[in-house]
Structures are given as structure tokens and as C-alpha cells.
């Protein structure tokens, strides 16, 4: 199964495509969709949408996993990320792909076994699970890979199967 993980943003949207087979994981590609700062925001959203359409077409995932929005202290940034996430969700929906959404704590729990894992712990576990010699770059791509791994590990668990059956 090919799983595309997405870490949404409006300046940088990370992506990571993995292959999951019988509890084994392989990184196929990763990277980031970027938009230039000081560009009209509606144009940035259009760029994200078009790049996401192209990424979905080229990578041909079987399923997509995306991180749910987490609002920190900066509400304005959160609103802009939410708008970016909206155009990403639209592209996924129009591509007709199955979509799973995960909270940051769920990703940490599934990948590192601890819902409050640090960024460094997450990177180490991601590297270990994929048999990589170095951490994937940029950090947004590493986060997206962790989201894909979370989906791979969650969707094959008994609880994941029960949840999907509802």
C-alpha cells in the first residue's frame, strides 16, 4: 500500500510517500510544496492546490493521511493553515482517494509509542522504522512521513480495522 502523508502549511507543506507491506516500511519520496512569502494569499492557496493535484497524480498513492489542525497561540497563522488545509483536502477529495486524519498526539503515539514524544524522538523512530541513515529533510517532510507511518501502523492494527468498519 502506498501512503502519502501530508503536513499542511501555507509557506511549506511537507509530504512523504511510503510503501507499507506486512509491517515493513519503505520511503519512496519526500519533499515540500512551498509558496513564496509576500505573495497574495489567494495566489498561494492556488499554488498549493495545483501542486497538490500534481503530487497526487504523479505519486499515485492508495491512501492519504493528513495531520489535523492544531491551534497554538497564533490564531492568525492557524486560520491561514486551515485555509491551506482546505484546498489540500479539496484536491484529495477530487482525486477520489481515501483520507485519514490524525491529531499530532496520535502520530506521536503510533510512531514513537509515546503521545508526548519530542521532535528528536520522532525523527529517530522515523529513521529507524524506514532504515534510513539520516533524518529526512526538510522537517516538514519528516513530519509528513511520520503521519504516513502513523496511518500505516494504525490502519493495520485491530483497532484501526474496527474503526474503519464503522
What DSSP assignment string belongs to 28-75?
A: EEEEEEE--TTS-HHHHHHHHHHHHHHHHHHH--SEEEEEPP---S-H
pTM of the model: 0.90
- Coil, strand or helix at 19: strand
- The single residue listed with the C-alpha cell 512523504 is 16
Q: How many domains does the chain have?
A: 1
Contact indicator for 99, 115 with CB cutoff of 8 Å: no
What's the pLDDT at 73?
A: 63
Q: Is 68 a catalytic residue?
A: no
Checking if the pLDDT of 160 tops 60, the result is no
Q: Residue 131 maps to which CATH number? A: 3.30.420.10
pLDDT per position as a tens digit, 10-65: 999 999 999 999 889 999 999 999 999 999 999 999 999 999 999 999 999 999 99
Buried b (16+ CB within 10 A) or exposed e, 126-153: bbebbeeeebbebebbbbbbbbbbbbbb
Checking if the pLDDT of 157 tops 80, the result is no
What's the pLDDT at 76?
A: 72
% of the chain at pLDDT higher than 90: 84
Q: Is 7 a catalytic residue?
A: yes
Q: Which of 40, 53, 54, 67 is catalytic?
A: 67
Q: Which of 7, 51, 101, 139 is catalytic?
A: 7
Q: Which of 62, 124, 140, 143 is catalytic?
A: 140
pLDDT band at 166 (very low <50, low <70, confident <90, very high): very low
Structural domain containing residue 69: 2-164
Amino acid at each position: 500500500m502506498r501512503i502519502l502523508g501530508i503536513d499542511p502549511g501555507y509557506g511549506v507543506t511537507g509530504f512523504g510517500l511510503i510503501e507499507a507491506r506486512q509491517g515493513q516500511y519503505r520511503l519512496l519520496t519526500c519533499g515540500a510544496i512551498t509558496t513564496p512569502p509576500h505573495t497574495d494569499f489567494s495566489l498561494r492557496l492556488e499554488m498549493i492546490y495545483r501542486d497538490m493535484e500534481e503530487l497526487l497524480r504523479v505519486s499515485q498513492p492508495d491512501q492519504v493521511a493528513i495531520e489535523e489542525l492544531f491551534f497554538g497561540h497564533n490564531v492568525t497563522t492557524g486560520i491561514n493553515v486551515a485555509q491551506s488545509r482546505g484546498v489540500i483536502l479539496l484536491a484529495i477529495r477530487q482525486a477520489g482517494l481515501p483520507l485519514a486524519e490524525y491529531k499530532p498526539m496520535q502520530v506521536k503515539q503510533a510512531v514513537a509509542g509515546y503521545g508526548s514524544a519530542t521532535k528528536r524522538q520522532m525523527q529517530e523512530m522515523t529513521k529507524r522504522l524506514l532504515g534510513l541513515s539520516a533524518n529526512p529533510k526538510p522537517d516538514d517532510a519528516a513530519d509528513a512521513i511520520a503521519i504516513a507511518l502513523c496511518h500505516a501502523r494504525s490502519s493495520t492494527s485491530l483497532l484501526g480495522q474496527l474503526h474503519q468498519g464503522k
